[in-house]
Chain A
Amino acid sequence: MSEKIDQNRREFVSVAGKAAAASVVAPGVLLHSIAHAEPRAEPVTDAVRYGLLIDTTKCADGCSDCVSACDKENGLDLLGKPDGATDEDWARQKPRWIRTVKVKDRLSGHVSSLPLMCQHCEHPPCVDVCPTGASFRRADGIVMVDRHTCIGCRYCMMACPYKARSFIHENIKVKLSAVPRGKGCVESCTLCVHRRDYGVAGTACADACEHGAILFGDLNDPNSDITKALQERNHTQLRADLKLNTGVRYRGI
């Protein structure tokens, strides 16, 4: 198992190295996307790839600060239980972009708790199966749903190995400008895409984590904190066997 992880890591490091070289060739692009605090005027490019590193050894059991911060940032806290739905239904169907999950090693009994969101795969199964092309991967590595073309078939929800996507079942009364949302569409973590496009740093979850368990950054930038942290110590992908090359990496599981 450990050999497998090492191999993946080696691959990842080599990819990161090549991308680093690319970003030196086009430093202006990189500089623009990070330094400017203005709305984006140029199309996103693959010079950057956004991702998260989650250190489960720092993640506190029972804490859900990242989840509430995400709910607030993305307007999920504005959704109410639909008329006629039972509490049970709502608990099961309530849209959420981050779930807190516990994983237990059967042999040792070691338990890790971790936030689980869209893993922003390089080869996303949700994009493979989408019949309309609504599920797509943006050039900067963010996997999103174009809700203008989403027909609500929920095939992507079936295909996602991480159960990362939610469905909006009811009409929405209050909406945020930056996070439109409507009945009949699927949605999931966007790595706070509005922040990316308006030049605001970080993600809501990373900002909210008091334990410093969530690190957000550009995986293609050799000088970013996240790349350094990934190079420094071992980490893993969830379901690495699926070879999806996830943009969200974990430590301590």
Chain B
Amino acid sequence: MVRTVTRLLLLAALLFSAVTFAESQRNNAVIEGSKAADLDACVAPTDFMRRAHFELIEHQRHITVHQGIRKTDNSLAGCVNCHVAKDVHGTFLPVDGANPVTGEQQFCAGCHEYSGVQLDCFSCHTNVPLKAGK
């Protein structure tokens, strides 16, 4: 009887810790110190962005390249500008890399490495903000 209760308690504790871990992941997805960390939501609700940000970016890339439209919420440069964080020296940390000191995965890298989805954007696009028009 005691053993069963202990087991149940252990299970409950495990479940609770799993839930709180998931919750902390949810809340810590944005990198502390980035502009995004101070905002309630991205250009669309967070759940939508998690599942479909690539669709927004892919749609955007067509209209930017072919129609020249640059005034938009959905540009990749916008993602980088808002989600990039700085290290202690004030240098931008690449969004597709990790903080070399703390080892903390940056915004794009964190999820993409976790989910095993290759991130191709930054083989051509810059991963830190560089002034538009430069």
**Residues on A facing B (Cβ under 8 Å):** 38-44, 136, 138-140, 144, 146-148, 171-172, 174-178, 180-183, 185, 193-198, 200
Q: Is the CB of B65 within 8 A of A177?
A: no
B134 CB contacts on chain A under 8 angstroms: 176-178
B69 CB contacts on chain A under 8 angstroms: 40-43, 197
- A-B CB contact pairs (8 Å), 19 listed: A40-B68, A40-B69, A42-B69, A43-B68, A138-B68, A146-B65, A172-B123, A175-B124, A175-B126, A176-B126, A177-B77, A177-B126, A177-B134, A182-B124, A194-B133, A195-B133, A196-B68, A197-B68, A197-B69
A178 CB contacts on chain B under 8 angstroms: 132-134
Cross-interface CB contact of B68 among A44, A177, A200, cutoff 8 Å: A44
**75-134 of chain B: CB within 8 A of chain A:** 77, 123-126, 129-134
Closest Cβ of chain B: how far from A171's Cβ, in Å? 7
Q: Is the CB of A180 within 8 A of B125?
A: yes
Q: Is the CB of A193 within 8 A of B68?
A: yes
Q: Is B53 interfacial (CB 8 A cutoff)?
A: no
Nearest B residue to A192 via CB reads: B133
Tell me, in angstroms, the Cα distance from A139 to B65 when the chains sit together.
11
Q: How many residues of B contact A (CB 8 A)?
A: 22
Q: Is the CB of A183 within 8 A of B70?
A: no
| Chain B interface, DSSP helix/strand/loop, else mixed | loop
Q: Is the CB of A140 within 8 A of B129?
A: no
Closest Cβ of chain B: how far from A8's Cβ, in Å? 29
**Residues on B facing A (Cβ under 8 Å):** 61-63, 65-72, 77, 123-126, 129-134
Closest Cβ of chain B: how far from A80's Cβ, in Å? 17
Cross-interface CB contact of A198 among B61, B70, B123, cutoff 8 Å: B70
Closest Cβ of chain B: how far from A55's Cβ, in Å? 28
Q: Is the CB of B61 within 8 A of A182?
A: no
Tell me, in angstroms, the Cα distance from A172 to B61 when the chains sit together.
20
B126 CB contacts on chain A under 8 angstroms: 174-177, 180
A144, A147, A175, A177: most-surrounded residue (chain B CB, <10 A): A177
Q: Which 3 residue pairs spanning A and B have beta carbons closest together? A: A182-B124, A43-B67, A39-B70
B130 CB contacts on chain A under 8 angstroms: 175-177
Cross-interface CB contact of A144 among B65, B70, B72, B123, cutoff 8 Å: B65
B131 CB contacts on chain A under 8 angstroms: 177
Tell me, in angstroms, the Cα distance from A78 to B77 when the chains sit together.
19
Q: Is the CB of B65 within 8 A of A148?
A: yes
Nearest A residue to B121 via CB reads: A180
B124 CB contacts on chain A under 8 angstroms: 147, 172, 175, 180-182, 185
